[in-house]
Structure 1
């Protein structure tokens, strides 16, 4: 049987029936409801109605889909990964929305929140009726979140928060922000309703990447919260880092989708673009490029599926996730750049998805841990010595 160019190694053959159904449902929805609009959103640098997008994703069961209870779908890790892959095949900004909502904000509440906090927020967030964001990164604290300057101090039974968070997806449309702050007892997590006095979110403009996504600066100026706003089980830097590992798992799958989209666009273009009297796909150099992209796309899917199976078996280590993010983002960047070259001048336009994916991947390579951070994580796993400090 001739291999399928779109899944050359037949990786998806190893999916179960429910996993295939989720893959197909998300793919159809993303292509029908989101893809026709995403180039326009990217060009304008805005999503006209992000809440409608969130409700649509919630109705499909994609928000916090890997969590159990409280209105969440409770799927396995591979199913969640497949959803991320199909969303990012359309645009990284859409997968970011789902990752931040489900793997960061909702996971923090699910893992570290009180029963009351879970009941208050998770059902509405799962439905897309409430949007969350995750306030960890700061202007001077990115790869080293332990150096954050945001502080929470006790005043009677209340908490008072002061500080600034930066590069926060969903920040200006969120109903609740999961904010991490230093206290006299170490780093703690807090649920901050975005309508409280002293909280403001400013949209970051001028982005050249991830434009079909809302990115904001959060400012906390004497934000007063009741004592029960703290996540009771979130103590220390390991709490937010565990949430980041969940989000990174989604990235491992998501960028495989972006790579596939670029490869498929290049393959179609090479078959139809004629120069020197024949399709450019008939020239050796173009075929070499297509072969390189094919290998990267299939390697990325194999890596994602392997990590998904490990996660479902309870065997996934955070260094495995670092391996996946490092390898798959690199592969996706190579594929996007090569696909852009196959398209020639047409590749820089929004008529084709490759340049949009190419610049989006520059952001994906940076957030949730830079390439250097994941390389050092692997180095520590190999040698037993940390190079971070």
Structure 2
């Protein structure tokens, strides 16, 4: 068993990218063996856009457990697992667990009084005619809930995207900027309050077809975004701030979108100071279906000819104090972060600051130069 793969990985169809002696290489893993498909599809974008379920021709690289793949933070080996996305735009959906968002507003108003919090829930339930946990975003009940929250002085722009008709979908990071399993993940050195966001990430082709899923860490700088929602770009798009992997698990007879809907994403953080934190987020509690989120990302107003990755959001927000009481959680350099799910494996990264993380240097131009030198740009065959 390879510790970063799903338990049933030998029966799964996995797609990813490996840094080899030649450069970034798209691979397909089936029956435990790794196939270099770069001569058929020089990029994962091309591979997913042409995906039919048939495994393309390629060069056998051997059994996955025998490849010299090492984490970038633990060894100097040039063979390592890269983010499974290359030319795709990295998109993310926010505030997709509406109940979690509303509960935080209620808890803030109740100030720790459980009885008062239940009174607020009951009052909202009586006025909208249903439990807030069953409200579907954009529905008539959601509109009534909005009016009730406004009347109580509890409304915010975050709740608009939590229960309104339009999802929050933003660009997390540019193509080729995400890091993979075993790499460093970065937080800004000027951030004093930040946390990981463990999420499921959809793999979508140029038509918006969802073809598979993987894991992601949408690193969040809570102090910067908390100052103003208009600082979302500064809080989200930074060097090494987006981790995805280890591989995309493709939909087939062993894995489907319904499995995504049932996924439980787990988070483990282990600090060099002995600090430990664990938590989980269940996709069954998401307010907007993954198909709806993908559909709101692409359409006649938004096109992605190279396809896109889509973070689905999280309900996990660590509040455990780390250090002085009341200061909550924030990352320390050297934290080991593990995002896991039974059918998607483990995404493991180590925390550093964005200015100390390995700089992002391989952009589209550099990738094209590498593929040209390898004779891979003649087009798909």
TM-score (norm 2): 0.29
* Richer in strand (by share): 2
* Richer in helix (by share): 1
